[in-house]
Structure formats: C-alpha cells, structure tokens
Structure 1
Amino acid sequence: MAQATSPVSSTQESPTRGSRRGRFSRPSAEQELGPNYKWIALSNTTLGMLIATINSSIVLIALPDIFKGINLNPLEADNTSYLLWMMMGFLVVTAVLVVSFGRLGDMFGRARMYNMGFAVFTISSIFLAITWFDGSEAAIWLIFWRVIQGIGGAFLMANSSAILTDAFPPNQRGLAMGINGVAAIAGSFLGLLVGGILAPIQWHYIFLVSVPFGVIGTIWAYLKLRDTGVRKHAKMDWWGNITFAIGLVAILVAITYGIQPYGSSNMGWTNPWVLAALIGGLVVLAIFVVIEMRVETPLFELSLFRNRSFTFGNIANLMASIGRGGLQFILIIWLQGIWLPQHGYDYSRTPLWAGIYMVPMTIGFLISAPISGALSDKIGSKWFTTIGLALTAVTFGALIAIPVDFNYWVFAVILLVNGISMGLFASPNRADVMNSLPINSRGSGAGMMTTFQNAAMVLSIGLFFSLMIAGLSTHLPDAMYSGLTQNGLSSQQSSELANLPTVGILFAAFLGYNPIKELLGGHPQGVSQQAYDHLTGLDFFPHLISDPFSDGLAAAFTFAMICCILGAIASLFTGKKKGATEVASGSGETVGAELDAVAGDAVGVPSPLVDEEPARTDDAAAELDDLVRDDAEQKASTNRQG
C-alpha cells in the first residue's frame, strides 16, 4: 500500500513538526467567512466611526442654538458647567469605559459588543432629539443622554479597531485603519457643516439626523458581523474597573471645574475641591495599578507595556492627542469670536462659516491618511509617524507666527499641512500599535489606546482653555475698561463689565455671541447711538480682544508644539526589528506555512493556522526560533545528501 504524503511536502513530517502543525489549525477570517467579509467589517465600522464623530462635533457647532432653544445664557457663571459637560461629557465617559468594554469584547465577542454600542448610540440620539424641558432641567436632560450616548460610543470605539484587525491580513491593516481614520476626521468636520446648517432651522434636527444611519448600522452589524477573534473566558476585574473609573473621573471632573472661576480668580485651580479631586484621583489610580499587578485577569494588561511598539506608540498617540485635542476649539474661537466678525460676518452666521473655513484641515487628512496607511503596510510606520508629528509641530509654530487678523490663504495652507501631517501619523500609528498586540488582547489593547487618547483630549481641552484664559486675563480687563470708557460708558459700568470672568467672555465668543451686546443688555444711559452701535457692532470686540488673544494663542500653541515634538521622538522607538520572521521568509515550502503561523502568533496577528487557544507571545517566539533552526538543519542535510 502506498504511503500517504504531506500536502506541504513530499517528505514525511517528523512527529514534532506534525504535532506543532496540529496546534495551528484555525482558519483565517477570510477563509472562514469569505474574501468579502473584511470589506463588510470595514464599511460597517467606518459608518460607526462616522456617526460617532459627526455627533461629537455637531453638538460643538450647534451649542449657540441649543442654549437659545433651552433658554440658557452662557455668560452666567452657573451655566458654564452645563456648557463644559455638553462639550466634554461624551469624551469623559468614553475615556472611562472604553477599556472595560474592550475587555468585554475579548470575553464575549467583539462584534456582539460593537452591535450593542450601535443600538445604545441610536436610542440615545432619539431621546436627545425629543427634549421637552427648559432651562437647567433641559441642560441636565441633554447631558444625561450625552453620557448614555458616550456609553454607546465607548462600545463602538473599543471594538471597531479589534474587529478590523481580526478581519484584515497584516499587510492591509494600515489601509483599513487609514480609511477608518478618514471617516473619523471627516465626520468631525462634516458635523460642523451639518450642525451649522440644521441648528438654525431647528436644533433638535442635529440629533435626529444620525438616527436612520444608526438604525441601518445596528441591523447591518447584527446580520453581517461575526466574531473571528479568540474569546477569553475570564472573570471581570471589578475592583480594577471601580478604581480606574473613580480615579479617572475624579481627575477629568477636576479639569472641567479647574477652568471655571473660583472666588476672585478667573480659574478654579486653587479651589480645594478641585485640588482634592486631582490628588484623590491620582491616589486611586495608583491603587488601581497595584490591583492590576496582582489580579489574575486585569483590566489593564500591564504586561503589554513590555512590548516596545505598544508602549512608545501609545506615548506618541498620547502626546499627539494632548497637543492637538484642543486645537479645534481654539480655532473655532479664533474664527467665530475674532476673524469672521472682523471680516463682516454677523455673529449669527459665524458657526457655519467657521466650519467651512476649517475644511482645508479635513482635506489634508483625507489626502494623506489612506496613502500613509497603505504605504506603511509595505515599508513600515516609524518614519511616517515621526515625520507626521514633527510637521505638526511646525504648523503650530506657523500659527503662532501669523497675526490674529491673518490672510486667509496663508491660514488655509497651514491648516492643510496640519491635516496632512496628522494623516501621516494617525493611521500608521494605530496600525503599528494594533499589530503589536497578541490576538487575544486586541480588544483590551485597543481600549487602552482609546482611553489614553480620549483622556488626553479632555486634558488637552482643559490645558488649552487654561492657557488661553491665563493669556486673556492678563490684558483683557484693562483693554475692556479703556475701550468702554472711551465710548461713553461710565467708569463704574466699565469696571463691572471688565472684571467679569474671562471664561464667560471666551465662551461667548466660542458660541458665536456678541459678548459686549449681551453684557450691556440694552442701550446704556449717557451713551450716544453712534457709540452704542460701535460697541455692539462687528469691529469693537474683535479688535479689543486681538492682542490679549494673541498672548493666549502663543502659550497654547507653544505647549502643543512641545507635545508633538515629544511624540515624534517617541515614534522613533516604534516598529519591530528584522528578526526571525524575515530570516525565515525564504525557507521554502516545507516549513514556510508553519513559520508564518508561529510568526503571526509571535507578533499577535491572525494566521491561517492559528488555533482556538494560541500560544503565549513568549512561547510562540521561542517556537519560531526552533522552527528556523529546524529549517536550517533540514537545508544542511539536503545539501549534504546532494
């Protein structure tokens, strides 16, 4: 009877190699679900990222109409917290929960958790659109449902990257992440345009617009997405979840209240409650780290930080998010509060036109993100991420150099280059970090990365506003007092208005209000009609605030520039070195498939031969070395026989 031969080789396999092959028998997502599944996963997760980011920025640009619709005055000190939580509540919730939801995805299925996120996001959008309260009650209602929407967003964000990493082969992940990133950045600017159009008609429409897409995405995800990764049957780290949530929430809440007035100060960093929240949050996070080092199934897999690409990739992303997180807010204030009124745009029209004039940044990102993602798959990510952040730092320097009343085409070129530079960084950075993760840790690893990013953005907004307020408060009171008295206002009235909290005036500009008109509340006695028209017109406040605003801009953008430089330096330490994987690539068909399987497990990427329970990273790397050595010995034996 003829002896059966191996389909891989005409020579009989050794028992060791045969048994090793048996361990790696799990088909890839493409083999299991067909070649079109990866594109289904990409299109659905891209839709999820698109509506999530649209909803984030659409609220940002529609806040003037929301505040008017629910009858809240942004210049009243008590309403500042409502404004902050409408803006930042979504980010705070996603920062706190995204890593926990990534772990749930690892345990119970990423597609299942992602689909739940789509459903929660859609339901919360409906309730946001049917607000029937007024005043502070309406604000609390909106903030509550924004928090629920953030829970849905956390499910989406924590599992979308992991779903893509499971669905795409390693040489296409950069492209997939690039397309996903394009949707995210495009959504953030598309939201500005859609919000600027819909909010003046009816502010409820800004939430309703995402509902049909959410319904489609929920049903589509339920019917088409499948769990192709390895599920981890582990217990939930409840103490880790509790301490992490308490610590991070305490710090982020302290940041939001630190930029609000306290007593006679323009900011609240000396508020005992703010200091207690900051210190207490740091202490609780230290306890969290101790817990994570001792529990069997930690929320944060601290062992992942032994991986150089994961560690430095996250440091680079953290620095980029801190440096760039508050940029959109500052640019909107710059355009809405100063530049657009100086060039004849009425305050009621500035939100829409601010979104339009920021489009070059979107175009730059749309150009570079998919290209850099695809090229980084072929030639590596290190230089894309390093050059991208270095170029971003240069654009911040350019924004400092131009005058407050800039030439728009110079401003547009700077924004275009800024978008290109962030596109060069974003996709390769995320693909590099995700490729460095073991297959059964992708959900928690992606959650950790998104947690750092969202927490950094909240921190960035707080720091940017603090620096802006510090710069404005140095010269703005004197400039306001002088300008008001010169136009006929009494010394007492001028002093009262000039000493109002700087943050209220800053937010009025941010929301597209004319703060002087709002503060005066009517035609003051003793002020001529001509002087009143000048005070409440389009020229007085923008020119008054230009010099103090320039000081704040310089401080904020210098800080951002330093962060981007530090991120660029961190990016130099990412990327894996050439090793056994490349050495083995030419070893021939006899063990080539096996080498591919073990190499895939060693770097944490799916392979056609990976089993249901893959080996640990260290074991897989050691086994890869054994296979390389076996292959070399086999070649040597063949040569001797020849």
Structure 2
Amino acid sequence: MNNNVSKGGNSPLSSSEDKGKQGLDYKWIALSNVIIASMMGTINGSITLISLPAIFNGIHIDPLTSFQYLLWILMGYGLVTATLLLSFGRLSDMYGRVKLFKLGFLIFTVGSILLYLTPSTGDAGAIEIILFRIVQAVGSALTMANSSAILTDAFPVSERGKALGINMVALMSGQFVGLLLGGILAVFDWRYVFLVSVPFGILGTVWSTFKLKEVSLRAPKTKLDIWGNLTFVSGITILLLGVTYGLMPYGSDAMGWNNPWVMASMIGGFILLALFPVVESKVENPMFRLDLFKIKMFSYANVAGFLSSLSRGGMMFMLILLLQGIWLPLHGYSYESTPFWAGVYMLPLTLGVIIMGPISGILSDKYGPRWIATIGMVMNTIGFLALASLPYNFNYWELGLTLFFMGLGSGMFGSPNSASIMNSVPPQERGVASGMLTTIMNTAFTASMAIFFTIVIVGITQRFPDAIASSLASIGAVQLAPVLSNIPPTGALFSAFLGYNPVETILSSVPSAVVSHIPPATLTTLTGTTWFPSTLAEAFMPSLKVSFYIGAFFCGLSAILSALRGERYIHELEVIKINPDEDKTKE
C-alpha cells in the first residue's frame, strides 16, 4: 500500500480506497456488523413502543396518573443518545472506531439484561426501566456514532451510497420486526420484549471482536471538549425536561406551561444551546467541528437532514395515536389489540423505504445525490399535505398509499444525503462527522416528538371538555358531563394509546347513585369502541392537521436545501484536484 503523506498526514485515498479494501470480503463483514447494530437499535425502539401497554400493566402503572413515566420511557432513550453522540464521535477518531463500536454492543447487551430483570413494580419499576433504558442508550450511541464512519472507511467511493442504502433497509426492517415481535411477545410476558435484544447484542459483540479491523486514520490525540460537552448536554437536557413537564398538569391547569420551573428550564436551555456554537468557536479542540460547515455539501446536507428528521420524528407517533385511539376502535378492534394492529397498518411506510433505500443509494453513487434527495423530500412534502386532508374515519387504502409514497420519498432522501455528508469530509474526521450527522438527526427526532406532542396536547386541552359535553348530551347522559369532562386530556389520549378505554376507569369512580339513573343502553354506548374515539377525534384532528402542515413545511425547506447543495463533492477527489503532484506520485 502506498505511503504518501501530504500536509494533513496520510492521504485520504490510502484510507478510503486502499485500507477499505483489506481483503475482498472485508467491506461486507463491516456492513454485516453495522446491520446487526442497526437492527438491534430499531427493534428495541419499535418493540418498546408497541409493547408499552404490556409493560405498564406488568409493572402495575396507571397512565392516567403516571404520564411522566410514559414520556420518559419514550423520549429518554433518544435524549441520551443525542447528547452523547458528538463526544463518542470525537473519541472514536482519537482511539479507534471499531474499539468503541464493540464496546457499544457490550453495553447495550448489559442494559437489555437489566431491563429483563427489572425487580420492582409501580413507580419504582418505572424509574428502573427508565434508568436501564439509559444504559441501553449509551451502548446505542457508541454504535450509532461509528456506523456511518465504519461503512465509509470500508467501502470505496463508488459503493458508499449503496452500503448506506442497504443499512437503511436494515433500520426499517428492524422497525417492522420490532412491531411484530412486540405484538407477539407482549402476550406472553412483557419482560421478553427486552430479552429479545440480547442475542443481537451477543452476536454483534462476538462478530465485531473477531472480524472488524481498525482501518481508519486516527486524528491527533487531543483533549476532550469539556466546555462544549457541558454546554450542549446541559442545554438540550434542561430544554427537553422543561418541554416534558410543560405537557403535564400543573395545579388546576391541564398543562404545566405556567410552572415557574418549566419556564426557567425552557429559557435556560435555549440560552445554553445558543451559547454552544460560541463555545465551540473558542475552545482548542471542539467536538462539534464548525469549520466542517464551510464545506457546502456538508452544511446543506446536514441542515436538510435536520429538517427531514424534524418532520418525521413525531409523525409516526401521531399516526399511531390516530390509529390506536380513533380509527381502529371505530372499525371494531378491541382496545387491547390496537397496539399490534397499528404497527401492522404502518407497514406501507416501512415497505416504501425498504424498496427505495438501496436503489437510491446505487443511483446516487452513479449520478450524485442532489436531485435524488430533492425529489425524495418533495414527495414527503406532498405526503404530509395528503395526510392533512384525511378525515378521521378515512378509508385505509388512502392512508396506506400515502404512507407507501412517503416511504419511497424517505428512501430516496436518506442514503444519498448521508453518503454526501460522509463523502465530503477528510477520512480522519469521519468519526466526528458521523457523530455530528447522527446527533443532528437524533436531536431533531426528539425535538420533533416534543413539538408534535405540544401542538396536539394544547389543541386537545382546549377542545376536549366541550367535545365531551356535547357528545354526552347527544346520548342523554349529560349528568356525567361534570365527571367525564375532568378526564385529563393527556391521560385520555395516552390511555387510548396504551390499549384501554379510559371511560371504564372513570365510571368506576362515579357514585353508583349517579350511574343507576343512566339507561343500560347509554352505558353500553359509553364503554363501547365507538363513542370515546369519535369524541376524541373532535378534539384531536384539528391539531393533528396543523402538525402535518408543519411537517410539510419542514420537508419543503429540506427539498430546497437539497437542490441548493450543489453537485457531487467527494473529499478524496477534491484533494487530488488541489494537489496534482500528489496524484502523480500515487500513479
């Protein structure tokens, strides 16, 4: 292998082209390791989402009174990964990507075993699950921070889009497998939904230990960016804590935005995040390399990816709420069965990504990422507008075709955008670039859930009491209005999401003298599968449409930035153009 050295150290081509070809099959070994990590992470995410009813029942938690635990089980994992990715990306450039990647498998496996063994029930059990999920998140952050960099090191320029596209298929396949496994395993024991990750973790740990090679160029060993870490981690954590508790009741208010602590944390979080780029521009060894944003392709692709994730993060959860809380009960599905069927009915989205992910990667390798990624975001913009036009009692084929169309759009955007980011940076910076890429996406994904939650819950809080009162009057049960109108809007929404009708719980606390005056037919209507979802729809749908319009706006901006990014930019080839003497030496 050629040992030419330029001013920056080893030549980029010696890393990406020569080292990446160590052994004919090494690139496929690297891809198989990354695929295991991707499937392990996405199976864990979707299996937890679909199994929350079984988990809450298993530890004996009432979502009407423990809403904060639901939010932290959902959002805590993403928050921890988002805050650690940058640091892990820098550490991988300093000490080796493969070393930290293998450690990630091991830590994730330990977290999964701890979750399976969760000893307590009630509030203590919920807190233990949240803490053990944080252990999992640390392991996941170590693998996620290095996956794109390992693939970029292992594959030549002409095949990177294809490799990232295949990995995208693994990510989406993991979501599909997680939904099905969650629906099946939760029937037997909620602990099995965590145990299923252990074989993936053990396989990944063993396979990566014996087969992965450290082929990357090391960045000069530097000190960790302590001030940048403190500013970023504190800022995003405090901000999302404020958002989380702003969604919870405070005193006599249905939501907590008037809570002084919430307001202080929101302001403090924004200030710290605003200071973060200032800090990074001053410290000697920044973990967030602002100078990389001078590369047009890197800058535009990352912002486009941020906007795409901002639109998609809350979209899937909002659709699951729509299916589980409204559409499926209206079509005769019992509340207990809706979590599983919601996952099944979301499969067209996954199918679209699986079909288009590798195709778009191959096309971007050949023709460049610009217009492929742009068309993908235009398709998603149209898809969001189509979702906003659907009534709550839609025909499923309308939703299924829209989801499939959006899956094709997401598949067209994802791998070309990631490949353009990773191709645009020097080889010795791929770890930090991969960390920045995944941090930006995970931060946007978590923020998107908070944004969509806020929009929907604010709307429900304003409309739900009136919807309950008018609906009770229409069935001759107006005397229950003072009681049922006090159902917490967040509790109503998430009790439906968790698979049971909250009206039954509320009626059990109503004095029997009041209930005895209600005709049996009316009681049957109240506790059936149509009255509550129809009532909830009146409060839910206007805000849901607003969130879809916002998603369309984000996707539209992402499409514009994708079009403006320029044609193909590959750092190795740009270095050769700038250093023709080095090119002659190589020849």
TM-score range, shorter chain: over 0.9
Residue 230 in structure 1 maps to residue 221 in structure 2: no
Q: Aligned residue for 2:445?
A: 457
Q: Aligned residue for 1:33?
A: 22
Residue 351 in structure 1 maps to residue 339 in structure 2: yes
SS in 1 for 2:185: helix
2:579 corresponds to which of 610, 617, 623: 623
1:606-638 CA deviation, whole Å, 9 max, x = no partner? xxxxxxxxxxxxxx76424x679x99xxxxxxx
2:399 aligned partner, one-letter code: F
Q: Aligned residue for 1:91?
A: 78
Q: Aligned residue for 1:545?
A: 536
Give the number of aligned pairs: 577
Alpha-carbon distance between aligned partners in 2 of 1:403 and 1:290, rounded to the nearest angstrom: 46
Q: Unpaired segments of 5 or more residues in structure 1?
A: 1-6, 9-16, 582-598, 604-619, 632-642
The offset of 1:284, in angstroms, is: 2.0
Q: Aligned residue for 2:161?
A: 174
Relative distance call for 1:627 and 1:464 in structure 2 (3 A) is: same
Alpha-carbon distance between aligned partners in 2 of 1:409 and 1:572, rounded to the nearest angstrom: 32
Alpha-carbon distance between aligned partners in 1 of 2:30 and 2:76, rounded to the nearest angstrom: 28
SS in 1 for 2:332: coil
Q: Aligned residue for 1:297?
A: 285
Relative distance call for 1:289 and 1:18 in structure 2 (3 A) is: closer
Aligned 8 A contact 1:30 1:37 in 2: no
Alignment of 1:49-60 (within 5 A): 49-60=38-49
Aligned 8 A contact 1:179 1:369 in 2: yes
1:82 aligned partner, one-letter code: Y
Aligned 8 A contact 2:302 2:437 in 1: yes
Aligned 8 A contact 1:361 1:419 in 2: yes
Alpha-carbon distance between aligned partners in 1 of 2:104 and 2:371, rounded to the nearest angstrom: 35
1:69 aligned partner, one-letter code: G
Alignment of 1:182-261 (within 5 A): 182-232=169-219, 233-261=221-249
Q: Aligned residue for 1:154?
A: 141
Alignment of 1:580-595 (within 5 A): none
Alpha-carbon distance between aligned partners in 2 of 1:29 and 1:119, rounded to the nearest angstrom: 30
1:297-356 CA deviation, whole Å, 9 max, x = no partner? 111111001011111111111111111111111111111111111111111111111111
After TM superposition, the score normalised by the length of structure 1 is: 0.86
Q: Aligned residue for 1:438?
A: 426
1:274 aligned partner, one-letter code: V
Aligned 8 A contact 1:385 1:425 in 2: yes
1:108-131 CA deviation, whole Å, 9 max, x = no partner? 100000000000001100010111
The offset of 1:485, in angstroms, is: 4.5
Alpha-carbon distance between aligned partners in 1 of 2:248 and 2:10, rounded to the nearest angstrom: 59
The offset of 1:434, in angstroms, is: 0.8
Alpha-carbon distance between aligned partners in 1 of 2:417 and 2:6, rounded to the nearest angstrom: 37
Aligned 8 A contact 1:42 1:180 in 2: yes
Aligned 8 A contact 2:180 2:343 in 1: yes
SS in 2 for 1:293: helix
More deviation in 24-33 or 540-549?
24-33
Residue 130 in structure 1 maps to residue 117 in structure 2: yes
Aligned 8 A contact 1:106 1:444 in 2: yes
2:556 corresponds to which of 565, 568, 584: 565
Alpha-carbon distance between aligned partners in 2 of 1:222 and 1:23, rounded to the nearest angstrom: 26
Residue 72 in structure 1 maps to residue 61 in structure 2: yes
Alpha-carbon distance between aligned partners in 1 of 2:265 and 2:462, rounded to the nearest angstrom: 27
Alpha-carbon distance between aligned partners in 1 of 2:314 and 2:537, rounded to the nearest angstrom: 19
Alpha-carbon distance between aligned partners in 1 of 2:444 and 2:317, rounded to the nearest angstrom: 15
The offset of 1:18, in angstroms, is: 11
Report percent identity of matched pairs. 45
Residue 536 in structure 1 maps to residue 524 in structure 2: no
Relative distance call for 1:577 and 1:162 in structure 2 (3 A) is: closer
Relative distance call for 1:19 and 1:537 in structure 2 (3 A) is: closer
Alpha-carbon distance between aligned partners in 1 of 2:105 and 2:490, rounded to the nearest angstrom: 36
Aligned 8 A contact 1:336 1:347 in 2: yes
The offset of 1:268, in angstroms, is: 2.4
SS in 2 for 1:572: helix
Aligned 8 A contact 1:189 1:362 in 2: yes
Q: Aligned residue for 2:132?
A: 145
- Please say which structure displays the higher CA radius of gyration: 1
Residue 104 in structure 1 maps to residue 60 in structure 2: no
1:426 aligned partner, one-letter code: G
2:63 aligned partner, one-letter code: P
Aligned 8 A contact 2:20 2:215 in 1: no
2:168 aligned partner, one-letter code: G
The offset of 1:456, in angstroms, is: 0.8
Residue 600 in structure 1 maps to residue 556 in structure 2: no
1:332 aligned partner, one-letter code: I
1:255-301 CA deviation, whole Å, 9 max, x = no partner? 22222223343332332212211221222233332321122211111
Aligned 8 A contact 1:259 1:462 in 2: no
Residue 484 in structure 1 maps to residue 456 in structure 2: no
1:233-273 CA deviation, whole Å, 9 max, x = no partner? 22111222122111111112222222222334333233221
Aligned 8 A contact 2:78 2:442 in 1: yes
2:534 aligned partner, one-letter code: H
Residue 47 in structure 1 maps to residue 19 in structure 2: no
1:62 corresponds to which of 51, 60, 63: 51
Q: CA RMSD in A?
A: 2.4
More deviation in 230-239 or 369-378?
230-239
Q: Unpaired segments of 5 or more residues in structure 2?
A: none
Relative distance call for 1:297 and 1:518 in structure 2 (3 A) is: same
